[in-house]
Amino acid sequence: MATEQVKPPTEEAKIDLFEDDDEFEEFEIDQEWEAKDEGKEVTQQWEDDWDDDDVNDDFSLQLRRELESNTEKK
Amino acid sequence: MAAYVSMGEAHRRITEYLTRFSDAVSYQDGQSLSRLLSVSSNSPALLSLADALNTYQDANRIIRQSEKYSQYTDILVPIFRALQSYRLRNLVEAYVAFEKVSNAFIQEFRNWESAWALEALYVIAYEVRILAERADIELASIGKTPEKLKGAGSFLMKVFGVLAGKGAKRVGALYVTCQLFKIYFKLGTVHLCRSVIRSIETAKFFDFEEFPDRDKVTYMYYTGRLEVYNENFPAADHKLSYALAHCNASKEANIRMILKYLIPVKLSIGILPRTTLLEKFNLTEYSDVVLALRRGDLRLLRHALQEHEDRFLRSGVYLVLEKLELQVYQRLVKKIYIIQKQKDPNKAHQIKLDVIVKALKWLEMDMDVDEVECIMAILIYKNLVKGYFAHKSKVAVLSKQDPFPKLNGKPVNS
């Protein structure tokens, strides 16, 4: 096996042995489950209508103050 | 380590194992057979057998004494060696012996017409991978090249070939595929996944849905991760969402791993996870990224990326998150627009670039009017803002209709 001896430094820092931090855990061989109900809770945890017109949060209020104070300076 | 065993007792245990093995094969009892092959399971039965083997040095003679056993010599001799070596923590030897077991087993499996032994085959595929990983750790610790896992990959490709044809054995192909994925992701050779994926996805005579759930979920998790690396976000969304919806709810660690990749994908198509989700699965490294999107807070996005840089780089989602910047710009400009609109509805759709410069300065981003113009041009080009420039007066004129189009589950135009 001809492995390159010279490796970029990032690769070297990475590991002495191979690793995948996110290796999926094994399911038991005979594990079966009802997919329909379970997992549902987790699949409903998303928002796609978050991009509202509300500008009363702290960040927006500060932004407004910033924009107004600056315009006054001019 | 090994408990004292008398010769008579050792002989009894060895014979018992051989009887069980030959019974499992003759009665086509895949489950019993699989237990006899689980070298790394440390089951009491196998541990006490290993102790017996280490006492009774000539077990091979017992195998040869009876035709019942000797027809499986190629499996039984090396499995004894594998069990013995594993018990003595000689992991390289254990792997080498188990590879012989596996090759001999595949020979037999090929000849068995029905798929009764699939469960045992799964154990073989799993054990080959696990024993190879452990052998590699041993090799690395004595300064040798860890190469067994790579070898296990080649072996499993062969197993895949045995299963991938037509017939009842086909249902086992996805399990082996998932073991291969685990190996390739660990070795960093994910390009090798491609040929297996093609074979799974182009199969005309086998419906994907017929595979067992556990394998479908694992398969979708890994192929979803691959789509993230390829920046194919709609496909990544589809696969990871499938894995999420079908994953056994009690396997929280797996759900967390799916979400770790699905969240950046969802963010990139304009969909946010609820805070409760991030908290429940301890994925709070995404909290500030989400908040930055909600606010239009470029400073917070930058800080969140810096703070968790290592983690995001390791999992390979850093670039995905970095690209959220354009959406955060869009949100900021939208906030400026709404604030202006509340003051003077008639002039709201004209945004002076100066104003954006000021907002950015507040967020500790030093940009001049030309740079801001460039950013606005990108936003317009990517259809995140609808409008045009009055170049001379340094004003962006926004469309009166839908000036900030939503992504609606589609990625930003590239």
Q: What is the CATH number of the domain that holds B347?
A: 1.10.10.10
Place of tokens 């939208």: B334
Owning domain of residue A68: 42-73
* Interchain contact, A45 vs B276, CB within 8 Å: yes
Q: Are B263 and B270 in contact (CB under 8 A)?
A: no
B170 and B302 fall within a common domain? no
- The pLDDT, as a whole number, for residue A14 is 38
**Domains: count for chain A:** 1
Q: How far is CA B207 from the centre of its chain?
A: 22
Nearest CA in chain B to A33: B248
pLDDT above 80 (res A4): no
CA distances from B47 to B27, B36, B154 (A): 25, 11, 29
Confirm or reject contact between B187 and chain A (CB < 8 A).
Answer: yes
ipTM over 0.95: no
Share of chain A above pLDDT 90, in %: 23
Residue B163 pLDDT grade (very low, low, confident, very high; cuts 50, 70, 90):
very high
Last residue of a domain, one of B163, B179, B203: B203
B123 and B22 fall within a common domain? yes
Rounded Cα gap, residues B152 and B126, in angstroms: 10
Backbone angles phi, psi at B390, to 5 degrees: -100, 90
Q: How far is CA B301 from the centre of its chain?
A: 27
- The pLDDT, as a whole number, for residue B2 is 54
Mutating which of B247, B262, B315, B340 best tests the A interface, going by the most A Cβ atoms within 10 A? B247
- Using a CB-CB distance cutoff of 8 angstroms, which residues of chain B are in contact with residue A28? 214
- The pLDDT, as a whole number, for residue A6 is 47
Confirm or reject contact between B266 and chain A (CB < 8 A).
Answer: yes
pLDDT above 60 (res B401): yes
- The pLDDT, as a whole number, for residue A20 is 87
Confirm or reject contact between A11 and chain B (CB < 8 A).
Answer: no
Backbone angles phi, psi at B271, to 5 degrees: -120, 130
- Using a CB-CB distance cutoff of 8 angstroms, which residues of chain B are in contact with residue A35? 213, 245-246
- The pLDDT, as a whole number, for residue B251 is 92
Residue A54 pLDDT grade (very low, low, confident, very high; cuts 50, 70, 90):
confident
B51 and B197 fall within a common domain? yes
- The pLDDT, as a whole number, for residue B80 is 97
Q: Between A and B, how many residue pairs show a Cβ–Cβ distance under 8 A?
A: 140
pLDDT above 90 (res B355): yes
Q: Are B331 and B295 in contact (CB under 8 A)?
A: yes
For residues B78-105, one letter each, b for 16 or more C-beta atoms within 10 angstroms of the residue's C-beta and e for the rest, the string is bbbbbbbbbbeebbbbbbbbbbbbbbbb
* Interchain contact, A63 vs B339, CB within 8 Å: yes
Owning domain of residue B140: 7-203
- The pLDDT, as a whole number, for residue B52 is 96
- The pLDDT, as a whole number, for residue B95 is 98
Residue B273: which of A20, A29, A46 has the nearest Cβ? Answer: A46
Query: Domain for residue A16, yes or no?
Result: no
- The pLDDT, as a whole number, for residue B53 is 95
Query: Domain for residue B412, yes or no?
Result: no
Query: Domain for residue A48, yes or no?
Result: yes
- Using a CB-CB distance cutoff of 8 angstroms, which residues of chain A are in contact with residue B336? 63, 67
- The pLDDT, as a whole number, for residue A71 is 53
Query: Domain for residue B146, yes or no?
Result: yes
* Interchain contact, A32 vs B149, CB within 8 Å: no
Query: Domain for residue A15, yes or no?
Result: no
Helix or strand holding residue A37 (H, E): none
Q: What is the mean pLDDT of the segment spanning B29-54? A: 96
B199 and B297 fall within a common domain? no
* Interchain contact, B406 vs A51, CB within 8 Å: yes
Return the closest-CA partner of residue B306 out of B293, B318, B320, B291.
B318
pTM of the model: 0.91
Query: Domain for residue B50, yes or no?
Result: yes
**Domains: count for chain B:** 2
pLDDT above 90 (res B92): yes
Give the mean pLDDT of chain B: 94
Residue B358: which of A47, A51, A66 has the nearest Cβ? Answer: A66
Query: Domain for residue A51, yes or no?
Result: yes
Confirm or reject contact between A69 and chain B (CB < 8 A).
Answer: no
B50 and B166 fall within a common domain? yes
B199 and B298 fall within a common domain? no
